[in-house]
Copies of this chain bind each other. A is one copy, B any other.
Amino acid sequence: MAEKDTIREQIVQAAKKRFSHFGYAKTTMAEVATDCAMSPGNLYRFYPGKLDIAEAIATEDYTKHLEHMRKLAVTPGKPAPQRLHDLLFEELRRTYHKLEKDPRAYEMALVISRERPEFANWMLHEERKILVELMDEAERRGEFVPEDKDFTAEMIQAATMKFRYPQLWSKLTLPKLERELEGVLCLLLNGLCPAAQALARQQQHQAA
């Protein structure tokens, strides 16, 4: 069924074009069908519905992003705190720019997260896997050894929620968000306790 997959891809491409020009709501299935030289009804042999096409687009897009993130998580030559920093900043900047400059992308994000909450869960889950990979790598190199890596990944996500959907929570500008993320990350890495901080500083000096 390579044929079927080709058509599915064609549909996704046509829909992507329409969605990004006119928006999700203003694009009709009839239009997408016409672009693919088929009848509206025939679309349903390839996708269960309009939302599923949008989800396919989002999945394709996010999967690419995940590959990039995975590379950042295990970059050789960078210490674990640096890798975590790069990862979280990449995530912040990506969503910020995507949602900021492109109202269509914002619309699609809203629709999908409202209508398909499990998609947001999937994204979090995938990102968590990468965080765990980062920690596995850190363990291998003797940098960090969190007791329960999965739990720790969940907590890192909870603490950085504000930076994952920046424009849903606040109207802060990117520089302010970056400053805050920097601060939160520093707290997460070093903790509040003075002794812990002192030690963390020692380690940084040793590394330098």
Contact = CB atoms under 8 A, between A and B. Distances in A.
A183 B196 contact: no
A8 to B, nearest CB: 32
Interface stretch (A29-37, A49-57, A186-194): A186-194
A200 B194 contact: no
A144 B184 contact: no
B156 A161 contact: no
A169 B161 contact: yes
B192 A152 contact: yes
Given A187-B188, A189-B191, A193-B203, 7 more contacts: A144-B194, A151-B183, A154-B180, A155-B187, A188-B191, A191-B191, A191-B196
Interface of A: 81, 117, 144-146, 151-152, 154-156, 158-162, 169, 171, 180, 183-184, 186-197, 199-200, 203
A159 B145 contact: no
Contacts of A144: 192-194
B180 A158 contact: yes
Contacts of A117: 171
A60 B117 CA distance: 36
Nearest to A181: B158
A102 to B, nearest CB: 23
A190 B146 CA distance: 11
A131 B48 CA distance: 51
A188 B159 contact: yes
6 contacts: A154-B183, A159-B160, A187-B191, A190-B191, A190-B196, A196-B196
Contacts of A192: 81, 144, 146, 152, 188-189
